[in-house]
A and B are shown apart, each in its own frame.
Chain A
Amino acid sequence: MDLQGIDAIGTLQSSADQLASSKNEQAQKAEQNALDWWSLAAIAPAIIILLGFLFLFFYGVFQSLTDLKFGRPVVRFIGFTNYEMVIKTQDFWNSVRATMAYACSAVLAEALFGLALAKLFASGVFLTRLMRPVILLPLVLPPMSVALMWTTMMDPQNGILNYLLSLIGIGRFAWISDASTAMCSLVLIDIWTYTPFFALIIFAGLQGINDEVREAARVNGARGWATFLHIELPLIAPYILIAAVFRLIESLNQFDIIFGTTQGGPGDSTSVLSVRAYITAFQNLAFGRGAALMVVNWMVVLLGTFVMVRLWRLVRHRVS
């Protein structure tokens, strides 16, 4: 996770570099003409790894077009039959809905809470300096242990969460064991785990705002709330959106937290595409159909990311 944080910052920087370097394009062109073996050697590993990934990806797509099933002696090419069969079932659409609901609500809530948390820690009051490292805590835990931890805490009979709720007079709650609350509970776990990611990136954005800008706003008579809404928010919007892009990709693919707690249940209430694909392929051993579901999941992620990146570009354009 923290790797991704670095990635995000890296992306931001590299795009800034690109803008700067466009001036000496002329000079670079001349260099490019001479074949630079050293540069080639330097990027070769990256290209090989990329080709490997591409190969695996296309192999997966190919699998999704076959009736590959465990123990079946002959594997036939069956075109889009897997997709047809999958799309026809109601369960599939239920999974698509669950995937979207999970990802959208988690990312939205995380962005809001992350913004609040970042603002709070940017306020610079005494305790923030002491507590800053704590923000990172949920991010450094392996997602599977997060899932197990929350399963224990959300136990309907002797989980600590129900106890804490009972202290303020709220009756027992079934959390992940009830179809009607399972999805909310999972989103809650996701929010706890990944809000710090947003907070971290937005915090970096807030630090990057020149104090003079704020000063100028204040001189012009803007009060605290107005400064935030009209000056700060537009300036950190690209940061929020880039974090949202990363989180959206991850939560549309989310597997660990969901499989580790409910395995997609109760019933089909939290059976998102990635979990359904895993169960189809690795528990039911229908690899072809599982691959088809994974390809569909990939397309959903692609679509979601595309929209988010568009939004990010738009916002960045308006800000700069």
Chain B
Amino acid sequence: MRFNRSTPASLFLNLLVVACTLILTFPLVWIVMMSLKQQAEVMTWPPRFIFTPNLKTSAFCSMPPRPGQQATAPSRLIS
């Protein structure tokens, strides 16, 4: 657009864009964060936004095992 907006108006619009983006991305970000938490951390109340990511458990234990995974990695079943 070629009109020139006043600074407060443009600031307000920018803020609106940020708000919309947050609403659209938050669920996804939250789920990704959850996938990096340990089971106990997932269930804590109040939910925590800052935590130490745990790549080991998340990707392999809380998700349904893929076919064949168990046959090749029985060690995870022992613990």
Tell me the A residues contacting B by CB distance below 8 Å: 117, 120-128, 131, 134-135, 137-138, 141, 149-150, 152-153, 157-158, 160, 163, 166, 192, 196, 211
Contacts and interface: CB of A to CB of B under 8 A. Distances in A.
A203 B27 CA distance: 24
Given A153-B30, A158-B47, A163-B45, A125 B24 contact: no
B23 interface: yes
A135 B24 contact: yes
Given A149-B28, A160-B30, A163-B46, A127 B1 contact: no
B69 interface: no
Interface residues of B, number: 24
Contacts of A134: 21, 24-25
B31 A137 contact: no
A41 B43 CA distance: 60
Contact of B14 (A122, A125, A138, A153): A125
Contacts of B20: 117, 120, 131
Given A120-B17, A131-B17, A137 B28 contact: yes
A158 B17 contact: no
B22 to A, nearest CB: 10
A138 B21 CA distance: 11
Interface string B1-44: 11001000010011011101101110110110010000000011
Given A123-B13, A127-B18, A134-B21, A149 B27 contact: yes
B45 A158 contact: yes
Contact of B17 (A125, A138, A141, A160): A125
B46 A131 contact: no
B30 to A, nearest CB: 6
A138 B18 CA distance: 16
**Residue among A125, A158, A166 with most chain B CB within 10 A:** A125
A137 B27 CA distance: 11
Contacts of A128: 17
B34 A120 contact: no
Q: Which 6 A-B pairs have the closest CB atoms?
A: A127-B17, A125-B13, A127-B14, A131-B21, A124-B1, A149-B31
Contacts of B34: 152
What DSSP secondary structure best describes chain A's contact surface?
Answer: helix
A137 B17 CA distance: 15
A137 B24 CA distance: 7
B46 A150 contact: no
A135 B25 CA distance: 9
A160 B48 CA distance: 10
A157 B42 CA distance: 12
Nearest to B46: A163
A137 B22 CA distance: 12
Interface string B54-77: 000000000000000000000000
A194 to B, nearest CB: 12
B37 to A, nearest CB: 12
Contact of B28 (A127, A141, A158, A160): A141
Given A163-B46, A163-B47, A211-B2, A152 B31 contact: yes
Contact of B10 (A125, A153, A163, A196): A125
Nearest to B49: A160
Nearest to A159: B47
Contact of A158 (B1, B18, B44): B44
Contacts of A138: 24
Contacts of B5: 125
Contacts of A131: 17-18, 20-21
A264 to B, nearest CB: 23
Contacts of A124: 1
Contacts of A153: 27, 30-31
